[in-house]
């Protein structure tokens, strides 16, 4: 089955010759081309079950690579598991009109920072005005649609309640299936993001926009529209929160599993059309166009795409979690430990797979430098 690395190695040089790229896009493309190839070097793996030896190529560890990130995701999830509260959790999604896409495309660090800040602050502002509670928010940036189009949006996970103004009481949401009025949230989000973008124009932060793009006109047109925010059904419990986070936090624009074929310089991939009853469709693109769409979603170096607001903000998160548990007067029952990702030995794969299906840990590799 084709994967992104194969496509990048086949047409990456052509893409760099013919298309405009940013330094961080070139860095990501080079890492994906080298990932798990001889260029990265190798380590020797010995199966503890059958003794067979294998050479494993090292991974690039670039956050845009669909083959990497599992270790970072598991460490992050383990930390989040220790921070869960015994309250309902809600999932709110904020989207923006596509008329703002030119700003996102040419000034991504400015636009995406403003988007995350506006989403987090909208929830805090409306939470205080409607519940008189200081909420906590975890916000995750996604920039893509299923067909790799540019579709910036923020997924927010919100505990169902927060601190009173004097921090002496925990204020719970009155209805465990309803957080805040979504129309009020979307309009507050619109106000905050448009204000931040106008301020960016005033300070000259959007200087990379082409001369044909008039940011003030774009922002004014977007501000006149109704923006879409929506609340998904609340999570069923803490384990479901972790399951959601494990799928969404460290995701990249497309996984290798969605790439169906790469032949004759054409890439076919499947995607889900949410506007058409979640129907699964297949698109075929020229390989260079496919790579262009993927690289649109490579974020600037050191850009933080998972951010925390309110009582979950980094500075006092541990203290606030402890206070919330004391005010709630109860803690979560122990959650099952997350399954470790195990390498299966190609030489004794059938036996290892049988043990994994029976719930027995698969025989791990012992890895040493080659």
φ and ψ of 326, to 5 deg: -65, -40
Counts of helices then strands in the chain (DSSP H, E):
11, 13
Mean pLDDT of 25-53: 87
Nearest in space to 143 (alpha carbons), one of 156, 135, 153: 153
Which pLDDT value is given to residue 261? 95
What does the angle CA 29 – CA 76 – CA 179 come to, to the nearest 5 degrees? 110
267-276, 326-335, 349-358: which is most confident: 267-276
The predicted pLDDT at position 338 comes to 58
Residue 336's pLDDT is what?
64
How far apart are alpha carbons 79 and 88 in whole angstroms? 19
Dump pLDDT digits (tens) for 87-127: 999 999 999 999 999 999 999 999 999 999 999 999 999 99
Predicted TM-score (pTM) of the model is 0.89
Q: Does residue 364 have a pLDDT over 70?
A: no
Q: How far is residue 150 from each of residues 95, 296, 298, measured CA to CA in Å?
A: 11, 7, 11
User: Can you give the pLDDT at residue 342?
Assistant: 61
Cβ 141 vs Cβ 115: under 8 Å: yes
As annotated, the residues of the chain forming the CATH 3.40.1310 domain(s) are: 70-253+296-328
CATH topology of domain 70-253+296-328: Replication Protein E1; Chain: A, (3.40.1310)
Contacts of 239 (CB under 8 A, 6+ apart): 335, 336
In three-state secondary structure terms, 140 is: strand
Q: Are the C-beta atoms of 173 and 160 separated by less than 8 Å?
A: yes
Q: What are 240-285's pLDDT values in tens digits?
A: 888 888 777 888 999 999 999 999 999 999 999 988 888 999 999 9
* The pLDDT of residue 356: 45
């Amino acid at each position: 089955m084709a994967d992104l690395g194969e496509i990048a190695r086949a047409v990456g040089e052509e893409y760099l010759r013919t298309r405009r790229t940013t330094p961080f896009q070139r860095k990501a493309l080079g890492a994906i081309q080298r990932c798990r190839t001889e260029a990265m070097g190798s380590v020797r793996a010995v199966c503890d079950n059958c003794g067979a030896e294998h050479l494993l190529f090292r991974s690039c560890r670039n956050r845009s690579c669909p083959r990497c990130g599992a270790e970072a995701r598991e460490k992050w999830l383990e930390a989040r598991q220790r921070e869960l509260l015994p309250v309902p959790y809600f999932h709110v999604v904020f989207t923006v009109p596509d008329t703002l896409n030119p700003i996102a495309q040419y000034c991504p660090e400015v636009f995406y920072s403003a988007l995350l800040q506006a989403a987090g602050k909208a929830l805090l502002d409306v939470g205080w005005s409607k519940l008189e509670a200081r909420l906590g928010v975890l916000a995750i940036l996604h920039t893509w649609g299923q067909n790799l189009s540019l579709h910036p949006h923020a997924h927010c996970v919100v505990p169902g309640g927060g601190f009173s103004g004097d921090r002496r009481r925990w204020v719970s949401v009155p209805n465990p299936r309803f957080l805040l009025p979504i129309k009020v949230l979307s309009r507050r989000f619109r106000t905050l993001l448009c204000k931040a973008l106008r301020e960016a124009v005033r300070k000259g932060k959007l200087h990379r926009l082409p001369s044909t793009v008039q940011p003030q006109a774009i922002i004014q047109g977007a501000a006149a529209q109704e923006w879409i925010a929506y609340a998904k059904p609340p999570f069923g419990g803490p384990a479901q929160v972790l399951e959601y986070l494990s799928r969404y936090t460290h995701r990249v624009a497309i996984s290798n599993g969605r790439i169906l074929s790469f032949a004759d310089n054409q890439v076919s991939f499947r995607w889900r059309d949410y506007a058409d009853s979640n129907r699964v469709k297949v698109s075929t693109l020229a390989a260079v166009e496919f790579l262009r769409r993927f690289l649109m979603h490579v974020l600037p170096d050191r850009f933080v795409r998972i951010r925390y607001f309110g009582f979950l903000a980094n500075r006092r998160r541990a203290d606030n979690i402890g206070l919330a548990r004391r005010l709630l007067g109860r803690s979560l029952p122990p959650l099952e430990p997350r399954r470790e990702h195990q390498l299966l030995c190609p030489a004794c794969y059938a036996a290892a797979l049988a043990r994994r299906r029976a719930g027995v840990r698969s025989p791990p590799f012992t890895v040493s430098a080659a």
